[in-house]
């Protein structure tokens, strides 16, 4: 892509505008009175300086566009008020090219409506002052063509910028999708490797014994299957400490279920380590028959909810009556930060 420095365009536009001012000064002897032309030159110079002044905004402010339009309407009226429409005015018609240049600058700075209104006003004033044939002889048609070219280029550049942003957004989304797929693939390979590392010794033992296992070996297989299920369903709930405590709890006869539903994916590493350390401590200190650890929904104050159930057979009942032995909600934030984030009214109600 070929790019042109913005300062170079500004310098070229300034030189072109200065040329019109020089022509106007050179032809001050042609009008009956030079003062309206002097006022027109001053207005044109001031409007050009404001329009070309370096700014971070590509689009011209509305107030400046309105001022340029007023100047483009005033220039022909001031200049032609002292000129003879039937005579040869020479360079005294500098205002035609000046209006075209000023409106081209407005079109380049995305004020297309103002640019077209300016050259249309110039064309109407010229026809009223000198007739339709003067549109060609005075160069009004050339000013209209300049604005039309600026309009086409501005529209083309705007469309190109939109397409560029669209393609860039699509590229970012594609890169994010590819990164997510690579992460899923890497995670799948890691979990497959871990599963193979954990299950391979037991599978070889089963093959060596032709599937004939003792009761203790069958129990070990059940614990191994549960550990593999944890890798699939537990996901972010698993750390080395949690794995060790879950294994110990199952060896004590507990049933442990870990369910990660994505509620702690947004936690940073420090916060996740704190939450999972409390989870490991809760599992280690529980005497329940069954423990269920589940991530809380997004937006909840709790990160993980741990429920421990103790089953006690009641005489005369057909089933078992489960009692809650453990109920723990591990917060997302430490207690000090959670209290700081809590409104004062909620803190008072909590204390009450």
User: pLDDT tens digits, residue range 144-178?
Assistant: 999 999 889 888 888 888 888 899 899 999 988 88
Q: How confident is the model at residue 318 (pLDDT cuts 50, 70, 90)?
A: very low
Q: How confident is the model at residue 342 (pLDDT cuts 50, 70, 90)?
A: very low
End-to-end CA distance of the chain: 68
* 243 in Cβ contact with 194 (< 8 Å): no
* 110 in Cβ contact with 72 (< 8 Å): no
Q: What is the pLDDT of residues 106-128, one digit of tens each?
A: 998 889 999 999 999 999 999 99
Residue 338's pLDDT is 45
- How far is it, in rounded angstroms, from Cα 106 to Cα 184? 52
Q: Which two tokens stand for residue 341?
A: 């984030």
pLDDT at 2 over 50: no
DSSP codes, 258-277:
EE--STTTTS-HHHHHHHHH
Total-model pTM = 0.53
Q: How confident is the model at residue 66 (pLDDT cuts 50, 70, 90)?
A: very high
Q: Token pair 């064309």 is at which residue?
A: 123
Residue 102's pLDDT is 92
Q: How confident is the model at residue 202 (pLDDT cuts 50, 70, 90)?
A: confident
**Pick from 150, 121, 124: which is nearest to 60 by CA?**
150
Q: Is the dihedral of CA 15, 16, 20, 22 positive or negative?
A: positive
- How far is it, in rounded angstroms, from Cα 48 to Cα 68? 8
Beta-sheet strand order (sheet of 302-313):
255-259, 290-295, 302-313, 320-331
Q: What is the pLDDT of residues 210-260, one digit of tens each?
A: 777 777 778 778 878 888 788 778 878 888 888 889 888 888 888 888 888
Q: What is the pLDDT of residues 281-316, one digit of tens each?
A: 998 988 888 999 998 877 678 888 899 988 765 444
Residue 5's pLDDT is 65
Residue 6's pLDDT is 67
Task: Give residues with Cβ within 8 angstroms of 81, minimum separation 6.
Answer: 36
* 189 in Cβ contact with 197 (< 8 Å): no
Burial class (CB in 10 A: 0-12, 13-18, 19+), 151: middle
Question: What is the average pLDDT value for the chain, to the nearest integer?
Answer: 82
Residue 43's pLDDT is 94
Residue 19's pLDDT is 86
């Amino acid at each position: 892509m070929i790019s042109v420095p913005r300062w170079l365009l500004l310098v070229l536009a300034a030189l072109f505008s200065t040329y019109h001012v020089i022509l106007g000064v050179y032809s001050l002897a042609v009008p009956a009175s030079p003062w309206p032309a002097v006022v027109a030159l001053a207005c044109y110079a001031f409007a050009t300086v404001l329009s070309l002044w370096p700014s971070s905004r590509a689009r011209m402010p509305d107030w400046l566009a309105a001022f340029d339009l007023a100047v483009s309407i005033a220039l022909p009226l001031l200049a032609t008020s002292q000129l003879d429409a039937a005579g040869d005015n020479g360079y005294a018609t500098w205002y035609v090219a000046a209006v075209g240049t000023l409106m081209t600058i407005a079109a380049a700075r995305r004020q297309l409506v103002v640019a077209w209104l300016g050259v249309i006003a110039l064309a109407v004033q010229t026809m009223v002052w000198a007739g339709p044939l003067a549109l060609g002889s005075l160069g009004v048609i050339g000013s209209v063509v300049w604005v039309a070219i600026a309009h086409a280029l501005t529209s083309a550049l705007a469309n190109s910028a939109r397409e560029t942003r669209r393609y860039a957004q699509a590229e970012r989304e594609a890169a994010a999708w590819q990164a997510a797929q690579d992460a899923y693939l890497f995670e799948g390979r890691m979990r497959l490797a871990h599963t193979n590392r954990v299950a391979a010794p037991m599978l070889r033992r089963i093959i060596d014994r032709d599937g004939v296992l003792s009761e203790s070996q069958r129990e070990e297989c059940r614990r191994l299957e549960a550990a593999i299920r944890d890798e699939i369903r537990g996901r972010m709930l698993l750390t080395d400490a949690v794995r060790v405590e879950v294994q110990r709890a199952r060896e004590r006869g507990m049933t442990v279920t870990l369910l990660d539903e994505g509620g702690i994916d947004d936690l940073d590493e420090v916060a996740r380590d704190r939450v999972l350390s409390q989870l490991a401590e809760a599992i280690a200190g529980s005497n329940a028959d069954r423990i269920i650890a589940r991530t809380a929904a997004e937006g909840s104050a709790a990160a993980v909810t741990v429920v421990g159930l103790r089953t006690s057979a009641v005489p005369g009942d057909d089933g078992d009556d489960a009692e809650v032995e453990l109920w723990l909600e591990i917060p997302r934030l430490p207690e000090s930060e959670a209290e700081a984030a809590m409104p004062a009214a909620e803190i008072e109600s909590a204390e009450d």
